[in-house]
């Protein structure tokens, strides 16, 4: 019998998605079916970037952020190179070149380089281009590196960024956040609670415009102000004003907007979305758009040996490779879909490495639920929520949408539900945590809403008892969307002695993604343990 040669797999990137992929392949590595090499640009072990803002202000410890240890991967027999960049892909030789000149050959290459924070066009801030021409002129200097920002200006993506933000928050400085997406708002809320003066500047009509309608965004803006966060909306940033410190260094002083405002601060945090780290693929001649263009099975359009997962992957669904129009879709920007891609692709490679057929089920991604969880603000949204109750569709359309809406702006509460034939296809919930949990459950199951939608509002009423809602505690109900953890799995982990949210996270991974389910996990622990913490 001919010996089976181990499948040589190289992974570029040791962030949350690259680490999950490596972790899922370890059984095949131990069995000798896969020879795995992981290359990461950062020196630290893989950590959850979603929690960087909480880490910056001291709300999360480093041990709770770490997702995977490089030593665990090495002990399984894999090679891990941290603090090292891949600067070139030699597609002819099927090898990657490291910054120190070493070549590592591969049978399959997985690019999991993630995304970098966007640097907007601002007078006074240099923005580097990474198109094919710029990459050719710069040799390898732009590959795998970030832009140098002036003193007093930062993004919030890694540990160095967290230290800068943490110093400003602890010393009560004024932090100006440019951008009103989920991450920017979470940072502003956390910094305000830590004692910093915070201000969010954005050019849209409401915060989180990609996820919320006008009603939900307006209630959110009022809730932010009540939480101590100043909000400057409909102001397009144009320039940065600098001052000279005593040491002769110039640093950020104010943000100038198109409508004439000068918003002063000690630290400017750019939170204007992210862009795929796809420059390595571009320099290697791979097709890129909003990211590295891949088929639904995550394989590059250009090279069948190369795959991409996570925030650097632009998955093209139902689209011909030779079409001339703009490629629809793009990276999701959320950690849950990246983790599911990593596990799916690892299962496929494990099958190939064992000499089997890669007959894994197709990867089908469900719509992403977006959550903003703060001490004073609670947001959940999914689907297209911009349709209004007064948008009447054709009377003969049997699948016409219906919209139910309820608002209590004075107390920061708002709910909108969009249904088709009674089934929920999108919703937004502000300041209604229990209602949003119920709606998330209904959305996940494709369940039909009650004819009287107002019944759903009772979950956040003063006389509501969680025990009355059996569905929320059904064994198959999903608690953690990022990791697909059910009520039954959490109950089983609690029975094994995991009696805190952190312990549940280590045992099941629940709550280790966006963190939006931690309150729900705590609620389940109360139900599954008695007053002495003993499982029941």
Alpha-carbon dihedral sign for residues 377, 380, 384, 388: negative
**Residue 211, Cβ density class (10 Å: 0-12 exposed, 13-18 middle, ≥19 buried):** buried
- Angle between the N-to-C axes of helices 501-508 and 487-495, in degrees from 0 to 180, rounded to the nearest 10: 110
Q: State pLDDT tens for residues 340-354.
A: 999 999 999 998 877
**Residues 297-317: tens digit of each pLDDT:** 999 999 999 999 999 999 987
| Secondary structure (DSSP) of 441-467 | HHHHHTPBPPSSGGGGGGGGSTT--GG
Quote the CA–CA distance of 14 and 20 in Å, as a whole number: 9
Most confident of 258-272, 313-327, 423-437: 258-272
> Comparing 111-125, 258-272, 386-400, which segment has the lowest mean pLDDT?
386-400
Mean pLDDT of the chain: 88
Interval 128-156: pLDDT, tens: 888 888 888 887 888 888 889 999 999 99
pLDDT band at 274 (very low <50, low <70, confident <90, very high): very high
Place of tokens 């710069």: 138
Report, as an integer, the average pLDDT of 471-478: 75
φ, ψ of residue 362 in degrees (nearest 5) = -60, 145
- Spell out the SS3 assignment of 368-413: CCEEEECCCCEEEEECCCCCCCCCCCCCCCCCCEEEEEEEEHHHCE
Strand partners, 90: 95
Tokens of 449: 């809403």
Give the pLDDT score at 1. 38
Flag whether pLDDT at 355 surpasses 80: no
| pLDDT at residue 481 is higher than 80 | no
Phi-psi sector, 456: left (phi>0), alpha (psi -120 to 50), beta: alpha
- Sheet containing 250-257: which strands, arranged edge to edge? 237-244, 250-257, 262-264
Evaluate if residue 359 carries a pLDDT over 80: no
Query: For the ranges 24-28, 329-333, 419-423, which has the lowest average pLDDT?
Result: 329-333
Mean pLDDT throughout 452-456? 88
Residue ranges and CATH numbers for the domains of the chain are 7-132+275-353 (3.50.50.60), 153-272 (3.50.50.60), 383-458 (3.30.390), 465-536 (1.10.10.1100)
- First-to-final CA distance of the chain: 54
Q: Which residue has the higher pLDDT, 468 or 459?
A: 459
pLDDT of residue 163: 95
Tokens coding 443 = 């959305």
Overall pTM surpassing 0.85 (yes/no): yes
Residue 2's pLDDT band (cuts 50, 70, 90)? very low
What average pLDDT does the segment 430-442 reach?
89
What value does the mean pLDDT take over residues 466-486?
72
Least confident of 22-36, 121-135, 212-226: 121-135
Pairwise CA distance, residues 416 & 213, whole Å: 9
């Amino acid at each position: 019998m001919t010996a089976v040669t181990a499948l040589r797999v190289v992974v570029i990137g040791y962030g949350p998605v690259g680490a999950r992929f490596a972790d899922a392949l370890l059984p095949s590595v131990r069995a000798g079916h896969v020879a795995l090499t992981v290359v990461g640009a950062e020196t630290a072990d893989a950590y959850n970037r979603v929690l960087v803002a909480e880490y910056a202000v001291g709300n999360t410890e480093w041990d709770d952020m770490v997702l995977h240890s490089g030593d665990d991967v090495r002990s399984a027999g894999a090679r891990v190179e941290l603090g090292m960049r891949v600067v070139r892909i030699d597609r002819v030789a099927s090898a990657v070149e490291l910054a120190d000149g070493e070549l590592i050959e591969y049978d399959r290459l997985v690019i999991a380089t993630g995304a970098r924070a966007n640097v907007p066009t601002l007078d006074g801030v240099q923005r580097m281009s990474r198109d094919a021409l710029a990459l050719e002129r710069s040799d390898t200097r732009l590959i795998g590196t970030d832009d140098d920002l002036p003193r007093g200006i930062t993004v919030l993506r890694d540990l160095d960024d967290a230290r800068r933000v943490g110093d400003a928050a602890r010393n009560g400085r004024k932090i100006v956040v440019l951008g009103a997406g989920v991450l920017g708002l979470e940072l502003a809320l956390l910094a305000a609670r830590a004692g910093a003066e915070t201000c969010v500047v954005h050019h849209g009509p409401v915060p989180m415009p990609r996820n919320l309608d006008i009603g939900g965004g307006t209630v959110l803006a009022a809730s932010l102000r009540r939480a101590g966060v100043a909000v400057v909306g409909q102001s397009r940033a144009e320039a940065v004003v600098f001052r000279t410190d005593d040491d002769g260094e110039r640093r950020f002083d104010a943000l100038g907007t198109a409508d004439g405002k000068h918003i002063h601060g000690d630290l400017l945090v750019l939170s204007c979305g992210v862009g795929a780290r796809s420059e390595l693929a571009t320099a290697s001649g791979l097709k890129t758009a909003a990211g590295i263009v891949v088929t639904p099975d995550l394989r590059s359009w250009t090279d069948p040996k190369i795959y991409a997962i996570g925030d650097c992957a632009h998955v093209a669904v139902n689209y011909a490779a030779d079409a001339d129009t703009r490629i629809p879709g793009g990276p999701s920007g959320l950690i849950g879909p990246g983790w599911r891609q990593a596990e799916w692709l690892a299962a496929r490679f494990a099958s190939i490495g064992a000499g089997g057929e890669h007959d894994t089920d197709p990867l089908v991604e469900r719509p992403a639920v977006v959550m903003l969880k703060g001490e004073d603000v609670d947001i959940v949204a999914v689907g297209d929520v911009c349709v209004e109750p007064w948008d009447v569709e054709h009377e003969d359309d049997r699948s016409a949408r219906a919209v139910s809406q309820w608002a209590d702006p004075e107390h920061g509460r708002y709910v909108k539900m969009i249904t088709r034939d009674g089934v929920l296809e999108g919703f937004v919930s502000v300041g209604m945590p229990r209602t949003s949990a119920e709606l998330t459950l209904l959305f996940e199951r494709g369940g039909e809403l009650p004819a009287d939608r107002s019944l759903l509002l009772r979950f956040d009423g003063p006389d509501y008892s969680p025990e009355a809602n059996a569905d929320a505690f059904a064994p198959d109900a999903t608690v953690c969307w990022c990791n697909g953890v059910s009520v039954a799995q959490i109950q089983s982990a609690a029975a094994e002695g995991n009696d805190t949210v952190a312990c549940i996270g280590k045992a099941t991974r629940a709550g280790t993604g966006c963190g939006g389910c931690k309150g729900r996990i705590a609620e389940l622990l109360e139900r599954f343990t008695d007053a002495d913490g003993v499982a029941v």
